[in-house]
Amino acid sequence: MPIGYLATVGVVVVGTLLALAPLRRPRPLGTLSWFLSAVVNESPFAGLSWVLAATVLACAQGDFHGPAVLAASGAVCTVVAATPVLARRALRAGAAVDRALDEGLGPGFRAAGGVGAVDGVGGTGDRPPAGRVRRLPWARILLAPLPLSRRGVRRTANLPYGPHGRRNRLDVHRGRDRSPGAPILIHLHGGGFRTGRKSFYARALLHGFARQGWVCISANYRLRPGAAFHDFVVDVKRVVVWAREHAAEHGADPACIVLAGSSAGAHLAVTAAFTAGDPAFQPGFEDEDTSVAAAIGLYGYYGRIEPGPQPSSPADHVHPGVPPLLIAHGDQDTFVPPGHARRFVADVRAVSAGPVVHVELPGAQHSFDLFHSIRFAILIDGLQAFTAWVRSPGRAAGPGAPPPT
C-alpha cells in the first residue's frame, strides 16, 4: 500500500476518532486532539470525501493487495460510520443555542427583539420569525466548507486605524444593502496573542452579517513579543474610535457597535467592552467614546494573561453596567476547557446588572468558526437573534436587564 495513501487516510481516521472521543489530559494530548480533529469535527463531510477520493484513486491504480484491502476497508468504514454521528451531534447546537438565549434574555425575547438570519439561516433581518425552522446553507456546508468566497460582500482592505503599521490595519466588509444607519460588528482574531491576522477567523460570521446589512470590521492588533496586554486593549479601543469616526462614510450607525472575538480575540473584545471610557486604556484619546452595545466571545480564554499589578483578565474589570454579553464555547474544547468559560460567566453574572448568554455547543472543539459548518451556521443564527434583541427597544424585558429609565 502506498505511503501517501496511508498518511492521508490515517490522518483523517485519527482525526475522526479524536473528534468522537478527544483526549483531554495531559494538556499536550488535549492540544493534539484539537489540532488533529479540528477539520473533521466541524466538516465531517470533507473528511469523508477526502477518504473516499483517496481510496478510489488507490483502487484505480491497483495499489491494494492482500491485507491492504482490509486496512483500507476498515478506514473507510470508520469514517463512513462516524460522519452521520458527527453531523447529528452538530445539529444539537440548535437546541443549545435556543435554550441559552431563552435563559439569558427571557422566553419572550424573540417578540421583543425579533430574530434574524445570517447567510440563509432562519428568517431575515430583524423581523420576528413565524417559527424556529432553520434553513441551513447545505450547499456551502457540503461543497464549500472553507469560507473563502465573499459572494455579495465587498471588502475594503488594510485601512489604517493607528500608528503601528500593519498591526494597526483593518478590513471593512459590506454587503449589497447600502442603507444608511447599519449596525457595526467588529471582530478580533485569535492566535494566543502571538499570531493570527484579520479575516482568517470567523469569516462566515463576517460575510453573513455583512450580507444582512451590517458593516463588519476585522482588525489586526499588536502581538507578542513586541506588545503586551495594555497595548492589545489600546489597539481594540482605537478600532472602536475609528469605527465611530468613519461610520458615516460606510453608511453605519456610530451608536450601535458590537465587539466580537475568537479565542484571544474574545478576551480582548470582552475586556474592551468592560472598560469603556477607562483612561488607562485610552492614552492620548481619553475623552473618546469607546462604549459598545454588546460583546460576543467565541471559545475565549478569559483568565489573566500577564503577571503584575495591572489586572489582565476581563473578570477583573466587570461591573454592574457592563453591556450585554454572549459567550459561546464548545463542550469538547480541549485547548481551553469549557469549565473556564463557565466560571467566567458565573463571575460576570454575579456582578452584572445586564444579561449574560452562555451557549455551550455540543461536540464543538476550539476554532469552530473556521468553516462553513452545521454548528457555526446555527450559532450565527443565534448571534443574529442576540444582536437583534440588543438593538430592540423592548430589550429590557430580558432577565437581568436594567429597568427602563
213 near 244, Cβ under 8 Å?
A: no
Q: Which of 119, 231, 235, 333 is catalytic?
A: 333
271 near 290, Cβ under 8 Å?
A: no
The sign one gets for the Cα dihedral 265, 267, 268, 273 is positive
User: Cα dihedral angle (121, 219, 244, 213), rounded to 10 degrees?
Assistant: -20
121 near 374, Cβ under 8 Å?
A: no
**Of the candidates 200, 122, 173, the residue with the CA atom closest to the CA atom of residue 369:** 200
Helix, strand, coil abundance in the chain, percent, nearest 5 = 45, 15, 40
Whole-number CA gyration radius for the chain: 22
220 near 167, Cβ under 8 Å?
A: yes
3-class DSSP assignment, residue 208 = helix
Q: Which of 98, 366, 367, 392 is catalytic?
A: 366
326 near 386, Cβ under 8 Å?
A: yes
Q: Which of 218, 263, 373, 392 is catalytic?
A: 263
159 near 172, Cβ under 8 Å?
A: yes
Instruction: Establish whether 263 is a catalytic residue.
Output: yes
Instruction: Establish whether 366 is a catalytic residue.
Output: yes
**Of the candidates 256, 248, 180, 254, the residue with the CA atom closest to the CA atom of residue 213:** 180
**Of the candidates 127, 40, 195, the residue with the CA atom closest to the CA atom of residue 388:** 127
DSSP state letters, 307-330: -SSS--SGGGG--TTPPPEEEEEE
Phi-psi group of 374: left, alpha or beta (phi > 0 → left; psi -120 to 50 → alpha; rest → beta): alpha
Q: Which residues belong to the active site? A: 263, 333, 366
